[in-house]
Structure 1
Amino acid sequence: MGENQQPTPFHPDQVRVSHDEREAVVERLNTAAAEGRLDFIELEARLDRALNAKTYADLAPLTADLPPEIAVEPLVLKGGMNGAARTGRWQVPAQITVYGGMGSVKLDFTQTQCRLPEIAIEVHGQTGGVTIIIPDGWVAETSEMNPGLGGFRDKTTSERLSGTPRIRLVGSGGSGGVVIRHPNSWERRMQRRGGV
């Protein structure tokens, strides 16, 4: 190599991919099949290639002919004096910040259609407290939660269904406390009736 020659740069496509990155492509392919963009044979072939991908160069062609996913802006929800709630069918972003305020906040994911592999929620119970309800099959990573004076309760199970998000919860219970749980029996009945 002469004096002026630069070493060949390492191409980003050759960087190794992680399990989560493979899983995100698998989710994208399953969504495309559900929308009718891929037939069963194409889906099976692409899933096999995604699960065995080693580098970005292996993964990129698998979704190159699919429309880009629309990113949802981060959500900030504040309880204020009267409280706040996000319930029913709503578009879930990858990042959510919740402040319980004086009136409390309820964040209910049970009727949402979410394809994200992970949702990061920063929660501050403040005085009113915060309740987060996630569907059965979703899991929560809560080891970084500070209970504060009001406490923190994780009533979720650790059984994660394939294709469901992981909730990564950080923050503090404040004086009002924070609870994350699955739907209770009344909420399940209302869901079956199409209420809530």
Structure 2
Amino acid sequence: MTSGPPEPVRRADWRVSHDEREAVVERLNNAAAEGRIDLEELDVRLSAALNAKTYGDLERLTADLPPEVPVDQEPLVLKGGMHGVTRTGRWDVPGRIIVYGGMGAAKLDFTQTECRLPEIQIEVHGEMAGVTIVIPDGWIAETSRMNPGLGGFRDKTTPDRLPRTPLIRLAGSGGAGGVVIRHANSWERRKLRRLQER
């Protein structure tokens, strides 16, 4: 009798590194300094963080803490204008982005970025030609503040978040052209694989 293929390991069960444990320890210490957790609870959480084995172990320790978002940073403003605008490849991702589709459309592609921010706030305006946002697997989006407008809004992302990846907090309007947020499609995935093989 043959058995079927092995069950895939859930992301929450993946093993964590020393650096990932230390990052959670730092975040817990900051939360205690801000008065969010008391010293007795800090000791318990620090011990659990230092002994954590999986992403799920670490996520439970910070699930009730607000994200750390820089508030003094100027937003990145992108305008599609007449000819369109694309931000792709390796680029520095700020905590706040404002994007306008204009007449030529706008596209934000985060799949090659290395971003350690816990949260990215994106204010999006589809206008006439629309906006497309592409995020890596493991990133998730919170889109409750999106107005679909005439062009509509589509969220094609999955709800599975990897530890130490950003939450995309999206707000704004689809306008006439619409707004789409999704993960990479098959063509974009092939392109990424070719880049990684170089």
The two structures have a TM-score, normalised by structure 1, of: 0.67
Superposition deviation, residue 86 in structure 1: 0.3
- Judging changes above 3 Å, is the alpha-carbon distance between structure 1 residues 43 and 107 closer, same or farther for their aligned structure 2 residues? closer
TM-aligned CA distance change 1:128 to 1:55, over 3 Å = same
Q: CA 1:161–1:124 in structure 2 vs 1: closer, same or farther (change >3 Å)?
A: same
Q: Choose 1 or 2 for highest CA Rg.
A: 1
CA distance in 1, matches of 2:138, 2:23: 25
| Cα 1:56–1:95 shift into 2, 3 Å | same
Runs of 4+ in 1 over 4 A off after TM superposition: 42-50
Please give the per-residue CA displacement for 1:39-62, whole angstroms capped at 9, x wherever unaligned. x5x985774474475343779xxx
Percent of aligned pairs with the same residue? 67
Which residue of 2 is the match for residue 88 of structure 1?
89
- Distance in 1 of aligned mates of 2:157 and 2:120: 15
User: For the structure 1 residues 154 and 188, does the alpha-carbon distance in structure 2 shift closer, same or farther, using more than 3 Å as the test?
Assistant: same
Deviation at 1:74, TM superposition (A): 1.6
Aligned with residue 54 of structure 1, among 32, 45, 50: 32
Distance 1:165 1:46 in 2: 14
Query: 1:136 is matched with which residue?
Result: 137
Please tell me the residue identity of whatever aligns with 2:82: M
Tell me the alpha carbon deviations over residues 47-81 of structure 1, each in whole angstroms, 9 at most, x when there is no partner.
4474475343779xxxxxxxxx9x86420000000
What is the CA–CA distance in structure 2 between the aligned matches of 1:133 and 1:48, rounded to whole Å? Answer: 31
Q: How many aligned positions are there?
A: 148
- In structure 1, runs of 5+ residues without a counterpart are 1-29, 34-39, 60-68
